[in-house]
Structure 1
Amino acid sequence: MAAAATAAGAGEVATAAPPDRARSRRRARRRYVGSALLFLSPWLIGFVVFTAWPLIYSAYLSLTNYDVINDAEFVGLANYTELFQDPKIALALGNTLFYTAVQVPLYVIVSLLLALLLNRAGRSSGFFRTVFFLPKMTPPVAVGILFLLLFNGQNGLFNTVLGWFGIDGPSWTTDPAWVKPGLIIMSLWTIGASVIILLAALQSVPDELYESARLDGAGFWRQSFSVTLPIISPAVFFIVVVNTIAGLQTFDEAYTAFFGAGNTTYSNDAALFYVIYLFQQAFEFLNMGYASAMAWVLFALIMVVTVIQLIVSRRVVYYESEDPR
C-alpha cells in the first residue's frame, strides 16, 4: 500500500509539473512582450500622435468645410465632387504626372551610368562617392534658389555653357514649355543617394557570372543586359518606387523658385504641381477641408501607382532567392 501511495504521489507531481511549466512560459512571454512594448513605446506614441491621429482627423476634415477660424461644417462628399470640377486640379495633376513620368526614368538612367563609372574607379571610388552624395545634403530651399541662378535665361550658368557651343539656351524660368524640363534637370542635383545604392548592388554581382558569360562569348552589352541588370533589378526597382512617390509629391524646389515670397515674375502655372496647389488651398486660402480631400486623392493615386509597379515587378525583377525553375 505504501508503494502504491508513493506511485500515486509521483503521478500527481508528474501531472502537475506540465501546467507549472506552461504558466512559467506564459509569464516569461508576457515579460518579453512587456519589455518589447516598453522599448517600442516612444515610437508607438509618436506614430499615434503624429501619424495615425492626423490621418484619421484629415479623413474627417475632408468631409467638412473648415477654415481654421470657424467650426468645421459637415458637407459629406462635396469636397470630392468639387475636385472633379476644379480646372486647376487637372492642371496641377497633369504637371505632376508629366514631371514624374520624365524625371523618374532619367533619374534612374543617370544614376546607373554614374554607378557604372564609379564601379570602375577602383580605389578612388570612395572619394567620388562622397562627392556625388554631398549635394543630397543641400536643403531643398537652397536648391530652388540655385535653380533660378543656374537657369536664368539672361545670364544663367547653364545657358552660358550652352553658348560656348553656339547653342542659344531657352528661357528656363519664364517659358512655360521649359519650366518643367528645367526642374527635371535640376532634380538630378540630388542623385547621389541612388548612385550609392546602385553602386552597392553592382559590387554585389558575383564575378563568376561574368566569367561564365565571357566563356559563352558574351560581350559588354550582352553581359550588361543578361547579367548585370537582372542581378541589380531589385535595387533599380526600389529606386523607381521611391522616386515615383517623391515625384508625385514634388513641392520644395518648385515652390521656392516660382511661388515663394509672393513671386509673380515667372510662369507659375507651368510649375503648379499638385502638392503646391494643396498647400495653397490649406495655408493661403484656408480651405482645410478641400485640401484634406486633395491629400486623400493623392494618397489613393500613390497607392494605385505603387500597386501597379509591384505587379509589374513580378515579371521584371529578379531575386536570387527565387527558384529559377
Structure 2
Amino acid sequence: MTRVAPAPALAAQSATAVARPVPQNRRSRVRLRNIIAFALLAGPNIAILLIFTYRPLLLSFYYSMLQWNLGSSVARFIGFGNYVEWLGDPRTPTVVTTTAVFGLTTVGGGLVLGLLLALLLNQKLMGRGVARTVAFAPYVLSGIAVGMLWLYIFNPRYGLLSVFLDWIGVTSPEWYSTTPWALVMIIIVYLWKNMGYVALIYLAGLQAVPQDLRDAAAIDGASRFRTFWSVVFPLLGPVTFFLLITTMLSSLQSFDLIRAMTDGGPLGSTTTLMYQIYVEGFQTGRAGYASAAATILFIVLLVITAIQLKFVERKVHYS
C-alpha cells in the first residue's frame, strides 16, 4: 500500500526543488554564450574605435614629443619642447582669441537662431514640409562648395550682398582683406550652414512637449511668451544640453569653410587652432609641432565637455 506524503512534506520538497542551485557547468555555459554574443555584436565596433580613434590619439601624443618633419625618416625626442614652443609663440594669443570668438558666436548664435527657426517651422504653415527640407539642406552640403558659393555673394565688387547694400545706401566692406570682416564673414556662413541641424533637433523636442501643458498654461492666463519661457523651454533642457555639446565640438573643429574662403587670412585673423594644426602639419611640414597643437585642442575639448557634463547637466530636467 502506497503512503501519501502529508501536504507540509510536499511543500517542503517543492521549495527544495525550486531553491536547488543551477549546476556550475550550466552557469559556465550560459556565461560563455553571453561572452561570445557580446564579442560578435560589440567586437567590431570596439575594434574600429581602437584602430581609428584611440590609436591615432595615442600616436598623436607620441609624435608631439618629437622634433619631426612630415615625410622625414629621422625624428628626435624633445619631450614637451613643442608644447613650450607653442605656448611661447607670439601668434598663439591671436589663434586662441580667434578660436574663442568663433566658438562662442557660432555656438550661441546657432542655438538662438536654430530655436527661432524651429519655432517657426513648428507652426501650421502651408508648405511646411518643403520649408523644413530647405532649412536642413545646407547642413548636408559640402563645406568647400558652400564656401566657394558664398565667396561670390560676399564679393565687394559684384556680389549679391554688395548689390543689396548699395540698394540701401551702404558701402560693402572689404570682406576678404580687412581684419574684422573676414572673421565675421566666416561666422555668418557657418551659422547659415549649421542652423538647419540645430532647428531640426529643436523641432523634434518641441513636438515632444505635451499639448495639455500648453493648454493648461493658456487657461491660467499665461501669454504665449510666458508659456514658452516657463513651460516649453525648461522641457527643452535635454535637447539644449545635447546641442550645446555637439555644436561646441563641431565649431572648434571647423576647417572646411576657413580653407575655402580665407585660408586663415588676412594676417591670420581667421586662423583657429584647428586650422593652425593643418597649416603646421601639411603646409610647413612640422608634424611634431602640429601634433602638439592637436593634443592641446583635444585637451580643451575634453575639459569643456567635462565642465558641461558636471555643471550644465545639473540644470537639465529629464522628466
* 8 A Cα contact 2:182 2:262, kept in partner: no
Alpha-carbon distance change, 224 to 19 in structure 1, aligned in 2, over 3 angstroms: closer
Q: Which amino acid in structure 2 is aligned with residue 220 of structure 1?
A: R
Alpha-carbon distance change, 316 to 170 in structure 1, aligned in 2, over 3 angstroms: farther
* 8 A Cα contact 1:258 1:268, kept in partner: no
Which structure 2 residues correspond to residues 1-325 of structure 1 after superposition, within 5 A?
Answer: 21-67=23-69, 68-122=71-125, 124-190=127-193, 191-259=195-263, 267-320=266-319
Normalised TM-score (structure 1): 0.87
Normalised TM-score (structure 2): 0.88
Render the CA deviation track for 1:132-185: whole Å, top value 9, x for unaligned: 111112111111212211111112112222222222221222211111111111
Residue 201 of structure 1: how far off its partner (Å): 0.4
Distance 2:174 2:238 in 1: 39
Residue 7 of structure 1 aligns with which residue? none
Structure 2, gaps ≥5 residues long: 1-12
Alpha-carbon distance change, 104 to 24 in structure 1, aligned in 2, over 3 angstroms: same
Number of aligned positions between the proteins: 302
Distance 1:183 1:302 in 2: 21
Identical-pair percentage: 33
Distance 2:116 2:181 in 1: 25
SS of aligned partner of 1:84: helix
Alpha-carbon distance change, 20 to 309 in structure 1, aligned in 2, over 3 angstroms: closer
* 8 A Cα contact 1:149 1:156, kept in partner: yes
Structure 1, gaps ≥5 residues long: 1-10, 261-265, 321-325
Cα RMSD, aligned residues only: 2.1
Render the CA deviation track for 1:6-64: whole Å, top value 9, x for unaligned: xxxxx9xx99x967633212212211221221233332222222112111111111111
Residue 8 of structure 1 aligns with which residue? none
Distance 2:20 2:287 in 1: 61
Residue 315 of structure 1: how far off its partner (Å): 4.7
Relative to structure 2, which stretch is displaced further, 242-251 or 20-29?
20-29
Q: Which amino acid in structure 1 is aligned with residue 46 of structure 2?
A: L
Distance 1:23 1:43 in 2: 30
Alpha-carbon distance change, 222 to 170 in structure 1, aligned in 2, over 3 angstroms: same
**Bigger proportion of residues as helix:** 1
